[in-house]
Structure 1
Amino acid sequence: MAGPGGYYNIGNAIGLLGGLALAAWNAGGSGEAATAAAGYLAGSGSAVALTVATLVFFWSGEVYHRAWADPDRPDARLNRQGDLLSAIGAVALGISLALLGMPLLAATAGLMHALGKFGSALHRPGAPPPFGWPTAWPDLFRSVVLLSRVPATLAAALALAAGVAGAGPEVIVPALLGPGVLLLCNLLWARADLLLFRPAG
């Protein structure tokens, strides 16, 4: 896959597989891996919300991929559909993070991201920027989406650095796998966000 949808869904796939791998690793014995995977996907309210978010994000990634199948003539209607689906996914993600007791990430990766995507879905190409946003500046709503990734990216980078510096041999895999996957995913998603700054239509 190429274009924004490709980057989004590569990140989605890495995030899903990384989460399942970490759950299986933490479960210990191989016989518990299936139970751990089921728990990761649907073992709690936050897990269900995260699974819903992941499925919706995969769907939106595919819609973006179709919208940008011809990069010289992107489909603005499909692009807005991708934005709307991403906003719905971000709401589900925010619910998951809130249930996990992570209010900052719920507010940024969830609510802030959703607002940016909803704004992108509703704002028509060529219309004046809202709220007095200068026309010479980058798109307001795309900027909100990109900035919404900063806290999670910084948290992942700091956790990864701490894991490299202080994790013992018995915990090195979970100490590096979780934040490493999150950091890689956020970088891929941010790349897709940047590609969407180009107007579609």
Structure 2
Amino acid sequence: MRGPGGYYNSGNALGLVTGIAVQIATAPAGSHWGNAITARMIEFFAGTGSAVALTLTTLIFFCGGEAYHRAWARPDAPDVNLNRLGDFLSGIGAVGLGISLLLLGDPLLAATSGLLHAVGKFGSTLHRPGTPVLVWPASWPDPFRGAVLASRLPAMLTTTLALGSALPDAWAGGSFATPVMPLTLLGCYLLWAKADLLLFGIGTKASDQISTC
């Protein structure tokens, strides 16, 4: 995959498709199976305020990923303006993600995966690549890109713990659908983190080195 857009949207698609598949796989069998799936899809995408926020957020993240993809598909990649558009859309998506997590009653992840992520993306939108950031040593990595990458860590830890508790239950005879989502989310986070790393050093001499990661 070329550029961060492919990695971002691969992670987005992986999470979305797996979520839908789990809803279908766990729908109660019987003569009303079709109705049960329809009800689950409605619940999945718009059953609660958190679900609606997450659905809209996912759409925005897909648009942001496409902007990154187009920015990096050009011969003179990356296109700075399209890259900033990707940052801006991702920042909006991060706000929506924070709202969704807050509605789910998880203020810690709302502050990290939502607020910290948004600060990093909006900061990258406004910050001119290669220019120094106030009180931030020039030799240090970009603070805004770093904030986005750091925002992944609490969610990755939470997901890893969820996977660790789900696997023994599944192994003991429980539903194997239980560990599927946390395992999938870990894969998503790795793809998103790879995209985050590709965005480090845009507009600096380090960009050529990082883009080959």
Query: Which of 32, 45, 49 is the matching residue for 1:45?
Result: 49
How high is the TM-score relative to the length of structure 1?
A: 0.93
CA distance in 1, matches of 2:116, 2:75: 28
CA distance in 2, matches of 1:65, 1:19: 24
Q: Where in structure 1 are there 5+ consecutive unaligned residues?
A: none
Matched, 1:157 2:160: yes
Alpha-carbon shift at residue 73 of structure 1 (Å): 3.0
Count of residues paired in the alignment: 199
Q: CA RMSD in A?
A: 1.6
Letter in 2 for 1:108: T
How high is the TM-score relative to the length of structure 2?
A: 0.88
Structure 1's consecutive aligned runs of 4 or more residues displaced over 6 angstroms after TM superposition are none
CA distance in 1, matches of 2:44, 2:11: 18
Letter in 2 for 1:116: G
Matched, 1:65 2:94: no
User: For residue 210 of structure 2, what is the aligned residue in structure 1?
Assistant: none
Stretch moving more, 63-72 or 5-14: 63-72
Alignment CA distance shift 1:71-1:37 (3 Å): farther
CA distance in 1, matches of 2:39, 2:201: 44
Stretch moving more, 159-168 or 111-120: 159-168
CA distance in 2, matches of 1:110, 1:138: 21
Letter in 1 for 2:161: L
Q: Could you give the per-residue CA deviations for residues 97-142 of structure 1, whole angstroms, max 9, x where no partner exists?
A: 1101111111111111001000000001122113x11110110000
Alpha-carbon shift at residue 173 of structure 1 (Å): 2.0
Q: What secondary structure, in the 3-state scheme, does the structure 2 residue paired with 1:56 have?
A: helix
Letter in 2 for 1:16: L
Which runs of structure 2 are paired with 1:5-44 in the superposition (5 Å)?
A: 5-29=5-29, 30-31=33-34, 32-44=36-48
CA distance in 2, matches of 1:79, 1:154: 29
Which runs of structure 2 are paired with 1:86-105 in the superposition (5 Å)?
A: 86-105=90-109
Letter in 1 for 2:176: I
Letter in 1 for 2:154: P
Alignment CA distance shift 1:19-1:200 (3 Å): farther
Query: Which of 187, 195, 198 is the matching residue for 2:198?
Result: 195
Letter in 2 for 1:23: Q
Alignment CA distance shift 1:71-1:11 (3 Å): farther
Which runs of structure 2 are paired with 1:70-149 in the superposition (5 Å)?
A: 70=74, 73-130=77-134, 132-149=135-152
CA distance in 1, matches of 2:119, 2:52: 22
Q: What secondary structure, in the 3-state scheme, does the structure 2 residue paired with 1:68 have?
A: helix
Letter in 1 for 2:59: L
Q: Percent identity?
A: 57
CA distance in 2, matches of 1:89, 1:178: 21
